[in-house]
Each structure stands twice: as C-alpha cells, then as structure tokens.
A and B are shown apart, each in its own frame.
Chain A
C-alpha cells in the first residue's frame, strides 16, 4: 500500500470526492492558489478552478453561513477555518444555524456541509492558534465531530464526512500533517461511530484522541516493559461516539485512563469517564484517571508549551496510579 502523509491523505480525499461529485466544493481563507495555510488544498484550485475552490474574505461567519445556505440548497460544501480558534467569531452560524436547522425545521432540511479545521498545540503559536476545542462541538446536538489520528483515517473519515447529510466538524491536528502512513490510492470510507483498537491489552484501557493516540501508544510500549498490558482505543469520532467498544474493553481490563490534549476541565474526557462510570462501574478496580492539559490558555514559550502538553510520562504515571 502506498505511503502518504496525513496532509496528503486529506488532500486526496478532497480531490477524489470533488472528481466524483460535482456538488462538492471548497471554500475558505487562502484555500485557492495559496493552497491553504498548511497546504492541505494545494493543487485543487489548479485542477478544479475558481468556481469550486473559492477564496473567501477573512470573515468566518460569512464562510460558515454560506456553507450552511449552500448545503440547505443542495450543494456539499467543505469549508476551511484556518485555525479552530477562529471559530469563535462564527459560532452562531455553526451552533445556532447549521447544527439546528434540521431539528428546528421538523426534519425538512439537510445540511451536508463539512467544516475542516486544524487544532492542537506544539508549534509555538500561542493561545489564539493552538487550542483543542472538540468538547465545544461535541456538546451541540446536530453536529458530528471527527478527529482522525492517522493518514488512513484522515482520508476515510473525510470521505464519510463529505457524504454525510449532516454538518460535520472535521478536526485535524496540525502536528499530524507530516505523519506518514499507508493510504490506498482508491476511494474508501471509514465509518463514523466505530472506534479503532490501536493496540490490544488486558490490564488497562487507554482511550486517546488525535495526536494523543500516538503518545498513548508510546506509553503502552513503556508500560509493556514493566509487564503492564495497555489496550489503546482511538474513538476516531466523538459524535457519534462508540461507547460499546470502550465499555467492552473496560469490562476486560477493569481500568480506564482517558487522554486528550484539550484542557481537562469540562473536556470530552469527562464525558467518556462518565459514560463508563454509568455503564461499567462494577467492572472498575479503581478510579478512572484523566490525562489532559491543565486549565490554562496555551502558552507561547517552548518549555511552557511542553509543560502544557500531556506526554508519555503523564500517561505512564496515570496507568501506574491505578495499576501500581
């Protein structure tokens, strides 16, 4: 199978879906000849032209609203918000308009749009360009939320997102763009709501998202040397969330550690912990432990940013806490 980067995988999904369906088009800031702030849309303007790869003004509400209206009128827009942090100025269009139209209209509208946006810290971009905001989106009924961790999933989940008849928030981790992995040339889709067990284990379940999937896998290697077998689960989509796979795993391992890069307070990890506590409490040997960022904006200076980010040691320590 050919090897491609996470970024190339996303680009390929966009290109192939646009070739397949003339209703699919791209819209966003600098997505045209510039190729996107991180280069995700490179080459698409040249192939599809201005009609289908549209550079917008720097007006996020206008972008999300245009995507919502175009989707309601039958097109399948994929819009890019350059950094997830910028969604704040467009939240009404996403939360009150796109997410709710179908419900408020009694099921008489479909809003098949995708909002692609990079999130995550690690490049010294500081507090307004580094957040992980998945919990915001996952909290709003009507939105679906995907968080691919690998190039394979990035392509397959984006294809599913584009074909979905609901608004999908597709969260890319900017530090994963360069990650390489096997990605088939042909079109394929990865279903929503189906978690992937990245590593099988019997002593503890570690649920991790996006870049933290890789950190958790590294931690599992360290733990293996100590004879602790960790099962690492990547939910891949938060809405819909594959509760069953996580609960089944906890019933087997009797322990749960949840890992994400977003701040711990009111993060999605709390939701996963609560679901497991509700559904598999009797199977747990001890408390559920969350590993996540501290409750602070993302700092700028490299040592501070590293201190902010959860790392391998944090995950190892969390597992040892319950499997000491």
Chain B
C-alpha cells in the first residue's frame, strides 16, 4: 500500500478542497443564500479522502446527509455541487435534491441520503450488481455512528457477509448522533466490534489520519475485489460544527472541541508532508490558490445560474 508523492499530494489537495468548500458553504448559509439546511463535514476530511483515494471511478459509494466531503473525494464537480446547494437548475439534481441528495451515478455516487441508515442496503445492491456481472467493482457505504444503530445497517452487513458482496462499510464515528453522544446511544466502545457478529474484519482506525484510513480501506477493498466479502472500518473522528448549521451545540463543551481541533486532520497531514519534504510552503500556496480559484468559479457558476422554472416541478418523477 505504498503511497507515492503524487498520490499523497492529491489526497492533501482533496482535503483542502473539502475544507474550503465547506467553509464557503458555511459562509453562504449564514448569509441566507442556501435554502433548507446543511450538515458540514469540517474535521472529518480524512475519512472521505483516505477512502475514496483507494477507489476507481467505476466503484460505487453511498453517502450520508453529511455528504459533501464524500462527493468531492469521489470526484464530484464543485460547480454542480454548489449550484445544487443554491437550488439552481444547473445543479447536480436540477435543484430537486439539495445538499442531502446530491448524486452522480456516472461517478458511482449513488446519492447522499437524508435518511440515517438508508445507504447500506443500496450499497449492497450496487455490490450485488458487480458480483452478478463478474466485474471487480466495489461499493463503499459511508455511515455515521448514529446509522450504525439502525436495523438497516445491521441487515446490510449480514446480507453482505452472507453473500460475500464486495462492500466496505466505512463508519465515520464523529462522536454524536445529532446531540446524543455515542456513550449514551450504544453500550460498546467500538462500533468495529460488531463486525464479529457477521464474521467480517472489523478494524478501528484513527479517522483523523488520512494515511491510516487509506491503508485500512485499501486492505478491505482488496479483499472485496478478490471476492472475499465485506469489511467494517470504524474511523474515529470528530464533527467540528454542529449537527446542522445553526445548531447551538449546547450539548457539548468547548474543551472537547478544542481537544479535537488540536488533532485537525488537515493540519496534521500538512505537517507530515512538510516534514517529509513532499509539501513546501510554495507548493501549498499554489494548491490553495488553485482551489480558491476553482471555488470562486463554482460560486460564480452557482450565483449566475438560473433557478428552475416552476413547471420543472413535474419533471423526472418517472423515467
């Protein structure tokens, strides 16, 4: 699982891109430019990035209500994403899905999902299609600690294991299901322990270490491609923002947040790459400039795009 410099820099770029995209979204949401609600991924960038860095374009992912990071890491188009958040006609879903339902089936992104625990059974279906056709595609199911308690997730793990489906269940344990800390919602300390019930590997990784995530996922993906079935990888991470933008976060203390911010996955990776001489200040500046420009274009595209026409409400219900 050796990662060459180019790949490491790609991963770093993806992490910066997610952080910057989410920061922009935070800003625009506060300014009232984005309807509905948004769930930000800041602080969890290493999970999506480390996971999707293993995947090929033909592989599938199912995402969550906190999906922007997964979509960006899988190669989602920032313009179409931003336009969708603005409810514009040019968005990924023509303004019909919004933040929680962005999808790009051509990129294997089978949708962010507004239902906690909704993605597992669907990831199984995509993996089943791969198995049925004899391709070596895999499906990754991203799900949170909250979703890990849903029956759908357990059903999906059981079926995937019984049928040896090429699925990797990537759990993002960010410590909270909305306001409820994991210590109150489950008796086990590690969600990965549940893998034993389905006779699949269950590993805990530092979800703020992108390389650790990559290595664990690479092993699981390799196993899945070889027809040896699913794995469960629990990535311990933390949600910097509230459950949704506007959440006052009265249920957690500042000290906890400070502790986790000190383990910032982006800053850590940056430092590591600097230490190894892979990243330089100059290179970092260039990466950030390119991303800033890309984001600026995405925002301009979103702002200048037309809103959907009212009659479009009736389109796309049926094929």
Contact = CB atoms under 8 A, between A and B. Distances in A.
A165 interface: yes
Contacts of A108: 92-93, 103-106
Interface size of A as a range: 35 or more
Contact of A66 (B93, B121, B316): B121
Interface in A61-103: 61-62, 64-75, 77, 89, 92-93, 96-97, 101-103
A106 B125 contact: no
A73 B103 contact: no
Given A57-B159, A65-B125, A69-B126, A101 B111 contact: yes
Given A61-B155, A92-B115, A109-B103, A69 B96 contact: no
A84 B5 CA distance: 55
Given A96-B118, A105-B105, A56 B159 contact: yes
Most buried by A among B97, B125, B139, B319: B125
Contacts of B62: 69
B159 A103 contact: no
A70 B159 contact: no
Contacts of B101: 104-105
A25 interface: yes
Given A72-B126, A142-B317, A61 B121 contact: yes
A313 interface: no
B219 to A, nearest CB: 24
B156 interface: yes
Contacts of B97: 104-106
A70 B128 contact: yes
Interface string A246-289: 00000000000000000000000000000000000000000000
A104 B122 contact: no
Given A73-B125, A75-B132, A106-B91, A59 B155 contact: yes
A68 B122 contact: yes
Most buried by B among A59, A62, A144: A62
A73 B158 contact: no
B91 to A, nearest CB: 7
Nearest to B112: A104
Contacts of B93: 104-106, 108
Given A25-B132, A51-B132, A61-B155, A69 B317 contact: no
Given A57-B159, A72-B110, A96-B118, A107 B315 contact: yes
A166 interface: yes
Given A69-B123, A105-B97, A108-B104, A97 B315 contact: no
Contact of B129 (A57, A59, A69): A69
A264 B319 CA distance: 32
B182 interface: no
A193 B113 CA distance: 31
A70 B92 contact: no
A110 B101 CA distance: 15
Nearest to B84: A106
Interface residues of B, number: 46
A166 to B, nearest CB: 5
A110 B139 CA distance: 18
A80 to B, nearest CB: 15
A64 B121 contact: yes
Contact of A72 (B105, B118, B318): B105
B151 interface: yes
Given A61-B152, A105-B111, A166 B105 contact: no
B317 A141 contact: yes
A270 B110 CA distance: 37
A71 B318 contact: no
A64 B139 CA distance: 17
A23 B92 CA distance: 28
Contacts of B316: 102-103, 106-107
A66 B132 contact: no
Interface string A19-60: 000000100000000000000000000000001001011010
A68 B60 CA distance: 14
B125 A71 contact: yes
Contacts of B92: 105-106, 108
Contacts of B94: 106-107
B162 interface: yes
B69 interface: no
Nearest to B60: A73
Contacts of B51: none
Interface string A108-134: 111110000000000000000000000
A7 B137 CA distance: 37
Given A66-B125, A69-B127, A75-B128, 19 more contacts: A51-B132, A56-B159, A57-B155, A57-B158, A61-B152, A62-B121, A68-B121, A69-B60, A69-B126, A72-B125, A92-B118, A92-B152, A93-B152, A96-B114, A96-B118, A105-B103, A106-B95, A112-B319, A166-B318
Interface of B: 60, 62, 91-97, 101, 103-106, 110-111, 113-115, 118, 120-130, 132, 139, 151-152, 155-156, 158-159, 162-163, 315-319
11 contacts: A25-B132, A59-B155, A59-B158, A59-B159, A64-B121, A66-B122, A69-B127, A72-B122, A106-B316, A109-B111, A141-B317
The 8 A-B pairs at the shortest CB distance, nearest first, are namely A65-B121, A69-B125, A73-B129, A107-B316, A106-B93, A106-B94, A165-B319, A69-B122
